[in-house]
Structure 1
């Protein structure tokens, strides 16, 4: 009989699953039909969808082009996570508006001129043994020949260096396999000095080159004095890649304009684009950077230009460290495969991809088998003896990225608007997919490293045309995500990018990025050292030294200390602000009206603001980041008076307040309220201690923050008591209000900590209880009922013990509340709360799940 019942029960469950599945499928079909989606569309959406709270598998760091920024988004969701300010001011983060970030931005000044924008092109992640290590990101500025360092612990720009001899650099940034050097290749040839030379001097004086920026991994900074440049002919060097594996120690830079053409369209000469396209081939530069790094140590081997060391062409050639190989016409990509043997070169004006074999290249170099020399004396290797082979891909081959499978590579075809998948070892075409439109760079996950992951590919497209809602003549760019995990590539989603032209992306597994969520108290985020203006609670002060005023201030939910600052017109002001918060994500912003300054102050951070109080008046300052329920009250006033102006005596008028009796009642009321709130806080702290909260780091951080807020209460209460004893009831009420505010801040952190601790300690929910919790919240039940305390409705702990046949009673009540309203118990509840429960039209299965959730609540009642 028991076995028979089990069979019947199993059959019923199967029917229920089928019914649920059919219902879900029906809803799914409705959505698809309403939005005109195919099954393929729906599947693509599922592949990129991340439910709330679920994280992506990869980070993508994408150049922001003309915005001068780096954009960060997640893969596969394509959700934007952050814009990292680099070469241009960025108001939200205060970058370029507070003194400390201005110092970073001003590192990018050129010849005494402020440069406040950049054209970011090629991001590169730091590497260890050719694999991404997630510590640093580097990005170049093509327009102004600069390189920036971004610390990935904090996702902040920590350094900008200016190339002292290049005037532009499309070819950066690229790193050697252990991040010993960051490579930056020149683009548009120009004299290395800052002197005038006519175009007629192009071949003799104008030069290209590759700069080797020495990177100090311990300090996370470029060492400019240990960096150097290899001089190259004015062939318009383009992109670069460093060798790895068997080619470690070598690097490769392609170029265009082997014709050495200089244009002159205004003189009736053919334009640059025509003159640069006459020859059949351009040159791939091949050089031994490890040998060059040794050569530069001897002063005899270098020229010093603008304080920077340069290895001349003839020195590199003499020491067998520089060679040329003919390559596809107008190449735009050079990529070394994961094991370092093959170098793949694209060509905008050639339908073929060329695959060079480093072993063949090295053999020619070792045997000194040179086909010829160029006009600058650089040995030229034989292209046929260097090639592994060529494969016809299509029109406008620009860039490449490597897949996970051995020999797999993906290439962009700009003119054909396609991505092609092929095998560079077998020289075999495998697949192609259409892109919208005119794809430039592309990035398979970790596809430029020695450990490519495949899975997804980003196509960074130059045009979007009709893909998005119209926004005027300036269209967004279009980044498209492609699934490359199967045999055939599948386009998953379009992502509009409305901030600049993203040229290239660098991707990395999320597990490799380890960020900090707060700074040590009083840290300068740009140097990661204690800030000169570090100010702790109780150290707030204003100091005047002549006409220079120093303000040491703090910010914490929900006040700025000091709240009144009085200055003389013409005062030079240095203001230090420390965020005293320890809870993560409790950022404060700061601005003073009419003064064009803004700071974003993260937990534990100190910042500096410098300005001149050059206009008279009253200027509110406030927290710009919504940080708490009392955020709008987080303000102060800067008052600037003219010392040469006679204001006379300004009589302050005191607004009439409440009567003494009314003030006394208000004081007693707030005392009672504070006492009740304090009881709640005491119970929360006891809850934590009883359950060993310190074992859970995230919970401990929140409890520590709550305790920190709680310690501030005693001093405010002493002030309130003193004011009361002095019969100053107005101040007594105000200080007791301040006690209440600190209690609210304490409770805010403590309640969040309790919720997290409950999650860690509670018994695991059954599938039904999980569904019941979802229904409870989605059905609106949580609008009146709060588990663990009385709210707009009764506490639900023990609800299944208040009635006979309680599960049945509760189920009937949820399904039809009116059926119970006339019961004596319910009449008393309705009268007490002055509310009747509405019918939420719950289905039987949903009610069943809610009851399972109530059972789980009762099992864990001591946690609420």
Structure 2
């Protein structure tokens, strides 16, 4: 076993570092593997996916949340869930659907006057420039209620929802064209475009499929509905789409099922849909020239308007050589254009083959008007045989495709639903290269930018429909399972099972982290849903309550650790609006806001302004508070909404007689508070001195923290003036309160400042050896930091310089850590015990851990001036 561990560490870390690790862990890795029944491959897989605290992933994944109506965000290779984003459904944590600004976006998704509060998210897509993901915008469709949502990747919030006015469902969305000119959305289940009743017997005459081309403004990230249009299609149940790129730029491709136009009827003795929809050997791939179609919409003769949107009839598209059909394998479920636009891969769920079409062949057939026939609606049909580059037998239930980094050599990956496998194959030379089992029944795949013009390879994620026995049981409803597969070598290697605890994620899209640059704070007073300054923006000193008749508007601010104002009194029946501005500039200092019993909630990130609105129809006293644990005084960050009935006469309760402090007691309290503030300020100034001496401004991350700290510190002079004014007026009670507020700002300043200092230390200190780094980990994980803080006296002595305090210090320290009790009567140790009233406990460190801690202490001493 030891030999295996040595080989394993060498494989993972390289020979020299492996040697260090082998001596450092003292067989610890071997013990863990044995205790948990892990193989060498298990440990290698863990190392390949492990991202340490503070580490970063290479890719970010945006996955549909299925019936949750959300989007899920996670990292690769760590497979750590980073965020859920509310899209088509209310999301209480972020206040989505509970504050007025997000509610406005959610209500854009109402259909025919009906409020819709759920969605079935399917296919996320990232905006593109020249066919390459640019990391600016993300679109996703709702299959259940045909809608498209737009998210801004600057702050990961939903900004727009548009309803398709003629479709009744959509599965084939959302797909960007190569420069984000349009977003393609194909209908799923054929239905009349108008909103009238049509009997099913009129299916072929009045039921229709279609593709909507949503005009997209990539500068502002919004769909322009007036410039959008629909292409009418036969009722063939259109499915997924892909936009051409490179050689096929300007064209689009959408597959379909039910070329039979079967309508079911179990209840009248007909075979079910699934039987009638799969009778034909082939269905139809729709091929259309979207650039030409867009030009046609400039002439009113070429379209009709239905429910407010332009619709190009099939006959017009055919007459202008802009719409064609090609037979494709039966029951296809996806069409994927190669990065150069020359090949189009289609798989049929009921066919064992993948079919590879070649654009140059299709283009020639169109140019030569060489048709195999026409469908019942007069659409030209191109020969499948003459359009194909070739077919490859992959296995049972081929579905979706993703291109690999070596796509020029034909590298592509396909999911096999029935076989529960991923197959790697060559779409140019038409041969299978490798297969790997997944668990179980894979649907979509997610490659790293695998459907763009610039696939990155490295990983494939298998989005499995079933988990069955992969995770601990949680009742009849199992989690989904996303499995990470390493595709960087000749053979695919399954690395990780990731339980997905919501919805049924259908599709995911990946992008390099380096392309994403989200903001960490908003410009003060921003309405995050519009990106503009909110009319409710409120700065410190501008807090107020404005009453106009029965409308009461509260302009409030939130900052650690208070909400201003803290008391609001209204009449029963008033319409109350709170405009709330988070005044924080420190990163990650989000505040929340709710009023008990009134079903409102807002999430306020630094700089953001949001509002909540409700009718005060309940009499009583209702606390409001910050819902994010934001500081040590989080529980005190609250206020009261008092709702009185104007038609009632209230009798005051007898006031309790409270003991007040004497003048001498108040003076002592004031002096004590001022002394604490003076001492705290001295700490702050020492931190500032250190930051300046080590040129903090050279390091952007440190500089940002310093700016946040100084922002808090800058609020102190105003409070000091108020304190001095109160002292002058003889109101020491109020002066103490203002001095306490000064202390609050000082604590906030010190908190951020010390974070900046600790980060700066890491940047300017000498580089740690592997042993010293292991020692620092052992120091932290062993609980040493509970009593010892490097650079200061805490519950135990400062350990800076500990190796200079004793004869044979390294040996002395090693022995003390290994057996503290042996030195309890040592005069030095006895003095420490009496001073701190604590005995050093035995932390049961191994000899190797202790050796590493000594190396860490040496590194501390080398950089003692920094602590």
Measured against the shorter chain, the TM-score band is over 0.9
CA 1:803–1:437 in structure 2 vs 1: closer, same or farther (change >3 Å)?
closer
Distance of 1:636 and 1:18 partners within structure 2: 60
Q: TM-score, normalised by structure 2?
A: 0.95
Task: Give the corresponding residue for 1:563.
Answer: 566
Distance of 1:670 and 1:19 partners within structure 2: 52
Indicate the SS of the match to 1:92.
helix
Q: CA deviation at 1:778?
A: 2.8
Task: Give the corresponding residue for 2:863.
Answer: 860
Q: Are the counterparts in 2 of residues 292 and 316 from structure 1 also a CA contact under 8 Å? A: yes
CA 1:798–1:34 in structure 2 vs 1: closer, same or farther (change >3 Å)?
closer
Task: Give the corresponding residue for 1:525.
Answer: 528
289-298 vs 90-99, which deviates more? 289-298
Equivalent runs, 1:577-596 vs 2, <5 Å: 577-596=580-599
**How many residues are paired up?**
851
Q: CA deviation at 1:147?
A: 0.6
Matching of residue 688 in structure 1 with residue 691 in structure 2? yes
Q: Are the counterparts in 1 of residues 716 and 742 from structure 2 also a CA contact under 8 Å? A: yes
Indicate the SS of the match to 1:764.
coil
Distance of 1:354 and 1:841 partners within structure 2: 63
Task: Give the corresponding residue for 2:68.
Answer: 67
Q: CA deviation at 1:587?
A: 0.7
Q: CA deviation at 1:306?
A: 1.0
Segments of 5+ residues of structure 2 without an aligned counterpart are 1-14
CA 1:256–1:25 in structure 2 vs 1: closer, same or farther (change >3 Å)?
farther
811-820 vs 585-594, which deviates more? 811-820
User: For residues 663-696 of structure 1, what are the alpha-carbon distances to aligned partners after superposition, in whole Å with 9 as ceiling and x for unaligned?
Assistant: 4333332222222112212222233333332332
Distance of 2:498 and 2:846 partners within structure 1: 39
Distance of 2:587 and 2:471 partners within structure 1: 36
564-573 vs 661-670, which deviates more? 661-670
Distance of 1:369 and 1:74 partners within structure 2: 48
718-727 vs 544-553, which deviates more? 718-727
Q: CA deviation at 1:815?
A: 4.7
661-670 vs 839-848, which deviates more? 839-848
Task: Give the corresponding residue for 1:469.
Answer: 472
Distance of 2:110 and 2:222 partners within structure 1: 18
Q: CA deviation at 1:576?
A: 0.7
Q: Are the counterparts in 2 of residues 347 and 398 from structure 1 also a CA contact under 8 Å? A: yes
Q: CA deviation at 1:571?
A: 1.0
Indicate the SS of the match to 1:335.
strand
Distance of 2:294 and 2:18 partners within structure 1: 69
Q: CA deviation at 1:828?
A: 3.8
Task: Give the corresponding residue for 1:605.
Answer: 608
Task: Give the corresponding residue for 1:628.
Answer: 631
CA 1:536–1:15 in structure 2 vs 1: closer, same or farther (change >3 Å)?
closer
User: For residues 352-399 of structure 1, what are the alpha-carbon distances to aligned partners after superposition, in whole Å with 9 as ceiling and x for unaligned?
Assistant: 211111111111111111111111111111111111111222222221
Indicate the SS of the match to 2:51.
coil
Distance of 1:72 and 1:722 partners within structure 2: 52
Q: CA deviation at 1:542?
A: 1.0
Distance of 2:694 and 2:33 partners within structure 1: 49
Q: CA deviation at 1:261?
A: 1.4
Indicate the SS of the match to 1:333.
strand
Matching of residue 79 in structure 1 with residue 45 in structure 2? no
Matching of residue 327 in structure 1 with residue 347 in structure 2? no
Indicate the SS of the match to 2:587.
coil
Matching of residue 37 in structure 1 with residue 38 in structure 2? yes
690-699 vs 596-605, which deviates more? 690-699
Q: Are the counterparts in 2 of residues 403 and 447 from structure 1 also a CA contact under 8 Å? A: yes
Q: Are the counterparts in 2 of residues 183 and 212 from structure 1 also a CA contact under 8 Å? A: yes
Task: Give the corresponding residue for 1:140.
Answer: 141
Distance of 2:397 and 2:846 partners within structure 1: 59
Match of 1:456 among 451, 454, 459: 459
Matching of residue 511 in structure 1 with residue 514 in structure 2? yes
Task: Give the corresponding residue for 1:619.
Answer: 622
154-163 vs 772-781, which deviates more? 772-781
Matching of residue 833 in structure 1 with residue 830 in structure 2? no
Task: Give the corresponding residue for 1:127.
Answer: 128
Distance of 1:347 and 1:168 partners within structure 2: 22
Q: CA deviation at 1:821?
A: 4.8
CA 1:260–1:89 in structure 2 vs 1: closer, same or farther (change >3 Å)?
same
Q: Are the counterparts in 2 of residues 399 and 412 from structure 1 also a CA contact under 8 Å? A: yes
CA 1:16–1:82 in structure 2 vs 1: closer, same or farther (change >3 Å)?
closer
CA 1:15–1:742 in structure 2 vs 1: closer, same or farther (change >3 Å)?
closer
Distance of 1:19 and 1:772 partners within structure 2: 12
Matching of residue 222 in structure 1 with residue 223 in structure 2? yes
656-665 vs 173-182, which deviates more? 656-665
User: For residues 597-642 of structure 1, what are the alpha-carbon distances to aligned partners after superposition, in whole Å with 9 as ceiling and x for unaligned?
Assistant: 0111001111111111111111111111111122111111111111
Q: Are the counterparts in 2 of residues 582 and 701 from structure 1 also a CA contact under 8 Å? A: no
Distance of 2:91 and 2:783 partners within structure 1: 41
Distance of 1:156 and 1:516 partners within structure 2: 12
User: For residues 330-351 of structure 1, what are the alpha-carbon distances to aligned partners after superposition, in whole Å with 9 as ceiling and x for unaligned?
Assistant: 1111111111111111111112
Q: TM-score, normalised by structure 1?
A: 0.95
Q: CA deviation at 1:449?
A: 1.0
Distance of 1:348 and 1:600 partners within structure 2: 44
Distance of 1:388 and 1:732 partners within structure 2: 84
Measured on the aligned residues, the alpha-carbon RMSD in Å equals 2.1
User: For residues 704-740 of structure 1, what are the alpha-carbon distances to aligned partners after superposition, in whole Å with 9 as ceiling and x for unaligned?
Assistant: 2222222333333344344444444433333322222
User: For residues 299-355 of structure 1, what are the alpha-carbon distances to aligned partners after superposition, in whole Å with 9 as ceiling and x for unaligned?
Assistant: 111111111011111111111111111111111111111111111111111122111
